[in-house]
């Protein structure tokens, strides 16, 4: 699904109205229906609930008035607070106001008088709906609007944002003075970029998309190079499990990982590769830690390799590693390898030999610090899975903070310049490919900010590669289900106590279409 800017969405709306002859009032009606649907899915039936809708003068306010009418018809107790005089409403918003009044009467309309009045109204409400500003906002929020946003944020009630939380810039996710902290954002037509970057990540809450009937041909004509991963797309990329299959059908993944004190990273990657469906997994690891790793793994195999005195992989094992790679369908390199100078040299020397699908993570990326040009020697474009610090060290001419500030741009530029696939981890993980196309993952949560979850992702990606899934699809699909497994784990355990192993346990459930959240 394409992610659009505010201007691109306005273009789509305009074409739909002018060329497809669908009146804007109809689009408002569809938006309202979608918002109510997602509201009830998220908060339960509206019947009997007291719901306050705060409406601005533009089309966002018109959407809010449609929602108010539809919720009234569902027997909710509705209060509509208009923050502009009636004669200041846009034409379509004024029409929706009149339709609401005809149904609910003037008693449903509340005027802003004071902060105390608004606080009292919010205290008696079960749900607040933000329909103040839409995607066209470009100036700082001031005056009564800012005061009301502050009151909404401090009310302690579920907040449903219409299209985008008021006060957020639709393209950058930056806060224009003050912005709504939404529990749920129902964005209309297509997802807006500002919901997935910058402060939008923290302000949007759960994001759902309401289909308002924009013709697909118009969407196709939008030259957006940023996509949102979807559940349907992720399931479509999973390999088919045919009845006559055997373990060889689903490939043999090789993982080059581990060192003294860091066998856990290798074990997590191996277990994740198996859980995502790989038929066979073998981990190549330093000889003295091989027994430790074997004790952690029942279903995966291990291969002991020459090591340094520091119990890390040695440069002398290059030939054996090359033979190991040639016997595997896909390779992952990096989890727990260490940054020992000899191991670093070994990793660097492997780049020109990578002639099959490969994932580079963790210490494999650290080994390329200042040597990112070696990536161009790979015969098959690898998948890199850096966090922002590793991304900065790869030679992007940016600090960790700079990478975090421009995650999409950083991932896109590096993928294009080096001819690789980049999975830039973090809140709303960004996946970029060499032609500049970028996807954003909507799954995942802060409970995954714990040691080892990156190793799990590496294992999931190499597990799909071993099954013959192409690099782009493997990176996107593994990232989506990695986040979904984390969301399922958070549902069961809560976020603070989650461990990387909890994600692995949830992978089978994430892969069941009926087990979604």
SS3 363: helix
Quick one: which of 401, 465, 403, 471 has its CA closest to 435? 471
SS3 255: strand
Q: Does domain 6-220 have CATH number 3.40.50.10260?
A: yes
Cross-strand partners of 281: 253
The per-residue pLDDT for range 352-410, each reduced to its tens digit, is: 999 999 999 999 999 999 999 999 999 999 999 999 999 999 976 789 999 999 999 99
Is the whole model's pTM more than 0.85, yes or no?
Answer: yes
Answer positive or negative: Cα dihedral of 148, 153, 157, 159.
Answer: positive
For the chain, domain boundaries: 6-220, 233-509
**Residue located via tokens 């090359």:** 322
Residue 199 pLDDT exceeds 80: yes
Strands 252-256 and 330-333: parallel
CATH of 233-509, one of 1.10.357.10, 3.40.1190.20, 3.60.15.10, 3.60.10.10: 3.40.1190.20
The per-residue pLDDT for range 98-151, each reduced to its tens digit, is: 999 999 999 899 999 999 999 999 999 999 999 999 999 999 999 999 999 999
The per-residue pLDDT for range 483-513, each reduced to its tens digit, is: 999 999 999 999 999 999 999 999 999 999 6
What would the two tokens of residue 392 be?
């900065």
């Amino acid at each position: 699904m394409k992610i659009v800017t505010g201007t691109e969405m306005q273009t789509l709306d305009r074409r739909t109205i002018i060329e497809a002859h669908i009146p804007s009032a109809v689009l408002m009606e569809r938006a309202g229906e979608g918002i109510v649907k997602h509201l009830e899915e998220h908060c339960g039936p509206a019947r009997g609930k007291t719901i306050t809708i705060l409406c601005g003068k533009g089309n966002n306010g018109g959407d809010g008035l449609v929602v108010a009418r539809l919720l009234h018809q569902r027997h909710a107790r509705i209060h509509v607070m208009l923050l502009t005089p009636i004669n200041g409403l846009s034409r379509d918003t004024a029409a929706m106001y009149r339709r609401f009044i005809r149904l609910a009467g003037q008693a449903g309309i509340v005027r802003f008088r004071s902060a105390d009045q608004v606080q009292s109204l919010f205290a008696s409400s079960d749900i607040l709906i933000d329909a103040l500003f839409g995607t066209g906002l470009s100036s700082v929020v001031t005056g009564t609007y800012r005061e009301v946003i502050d009151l909404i944020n401090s009310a302690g009630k579920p907040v449903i944002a219409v299209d985008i939380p008021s006060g957020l810039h639709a393209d950058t996710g930056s806060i224009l003075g003050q912005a709504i902290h939404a529990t749920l954002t129902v964005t209309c037509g297509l997802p807006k970029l500002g919901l997935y970057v910058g402060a939008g990540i923290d302000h949007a809450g759960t994001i759902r998309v309401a289909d308002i009937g924009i013709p697909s041909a118009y969407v196709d004509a939008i030259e957006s190079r940023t996509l949102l991963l979807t559940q349907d797309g992720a399931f479509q990329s999973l390999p088919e499990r045919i009845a006559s299959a055997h373990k060889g059908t689903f490939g043999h993944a090789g993982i080059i990982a581990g060192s003294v004190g860091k066998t856990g990273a290798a074990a997590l990657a191996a277990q994740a590769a198996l859980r995502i469906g790989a038929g066979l997994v073998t981990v190549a690891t330093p000889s003295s830690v091989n027994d430790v790793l074997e004790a952690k793994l029942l279903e995966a195999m291990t291969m002991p390799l020459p090591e340094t005195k520091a119990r890390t992989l040695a440069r002398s094992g290059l030939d054996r590693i090359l033979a190991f790679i040639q016997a595997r369908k896909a390779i992952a390199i990096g989890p727990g390898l260490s940054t020992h100078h000899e191991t670093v040299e070994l990793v660097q020397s492997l780049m020109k030999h990578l002639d099959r699908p490969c994932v580079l993570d963790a210490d494999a990326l650290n080994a390329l610090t200042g040597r990112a040009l070696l990536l161009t020697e790979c015969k098959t474009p690898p998948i890199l899975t850096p966090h922002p610090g590793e991304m900065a060290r790869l030679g992007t001419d940016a600090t960790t903070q700079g990478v975090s500030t421009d995650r999409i741009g950083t991932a896109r530029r590096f993928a294009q310049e080096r001819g690789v696939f980049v999975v830039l981890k973090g809140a709303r993980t960004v996946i970029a490919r060499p032609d500049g196309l970028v996807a954003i993952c909507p799954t995942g949560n802060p409970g995954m900010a714990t040691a080892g979850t990156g190793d799990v992702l590496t294992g999931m990606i190499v597990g799909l590669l071993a099954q013959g899934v192409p690099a782009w699809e493997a990176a996107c699909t593994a990232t989506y289900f990695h986040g979904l497994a984390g969301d399922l784990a958070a549902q069961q355990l809560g976020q603070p106590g989650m461990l990387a192993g909890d994600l692995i346990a949830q992978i089978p459930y994430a892969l069941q279409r009926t087990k979604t959240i």
